[in-house]
Homo-oligomer: A and B are copies of this chain.
Amino acid sequence: MKDDSTDYSAKAIEILEAAEIRIRRGGFEAVSYRDLAADVGIKAASVHYHFPQKALLGAAVVDRYSDRLLATLGRVDLTQTTVEAHLQRLCSCYVAVVQHDEMICLGCMLGAESKDLPDAVSAAARRFFKRLLDWLESVLGDRADAATLAVHIIGTLQGTMILAVTLKRPELMDEVAERLKQLVAV
């Protein structure tokens, strides 16, 4: 009774998970069928059975990631929760991404590469950011600068992630997240 029509086999899901980690570590080009096969304990040709083309695998990974993040953020309901609490949820997600996974966001990686990606993958990355911005804009809905502020906040979270992993200073995420909350409080 799931609302999305995609249902994958257990092995297909293993492959999607392995691909997500590898993309987030080194980018789309750095992922190979051979490595994914080793990750899930089968041969490269068998990975092609589940995902015939790499571009379609990439798009599937992104859509799965989008669904998961948006589900974690939850529906926007300002009658039950404050703007601050919604923002806190978003920041928590991204602080956890860096401090727990020691990786950047999938959208951040594919967004950076988007000029060189197969169309199906760059389109999926664009969809990801649109959904994320839509969520945040509706959280900030009553403000005149909602759209720009949403870009500012998402941009800051994405860019700070890059700084945090490159400089190996995960605590930067926390510090900047605190500043973002003050930004909205004004």
Contacts and interface: CB of A to CB of B under 8 A. Distances in A.
Nearest to A160: B155
A25 B183 CA distance: 32
20 contacts: A26-B29, A29-B29, A102-B115, A107-B166, A108-B162, A109-B112, A110-B166, A111-B163, A114-B165, A126-B167, A126-B168, A152-B156, A152-B176, A155-B160, A155-B161, A155-B162, A155-B172, A155-B176, A156-B160, A159-B161
B116 A112 contact: no
Contacts of A154: 159, 163
Grouping DSSP codes into helix (H, G, I), strand (E, B) and loop, the A interface class, with mixed when no group exceeds half, is helix
A166 B109 contact: no
B151 A113 contact: no
A113 B111 CA distance: 12
B167 A130 contact: yes
Contacts of A156: 152, 155-156, 159-160
Shortest beta-carbon contacts, A-B, top 6: A159-B159, A26-B116, A158-B159, A155-B160, A155-B159, A111-B166
Interface of A: 25-27, 29-30, 102-104, 107-116, 122, 125-126, 129-130, 133, 148-149, 151-152, 154-163, 165-168, 172, 175-176, 179, 183
The quantity of this chain's copies bound in the complex is 2
Among A110, A151, A157, max chain B CB count under 10 A is at A151
Given A108-B112, A113-B27, A148 B166 contact: no
B179 A114 contact: no
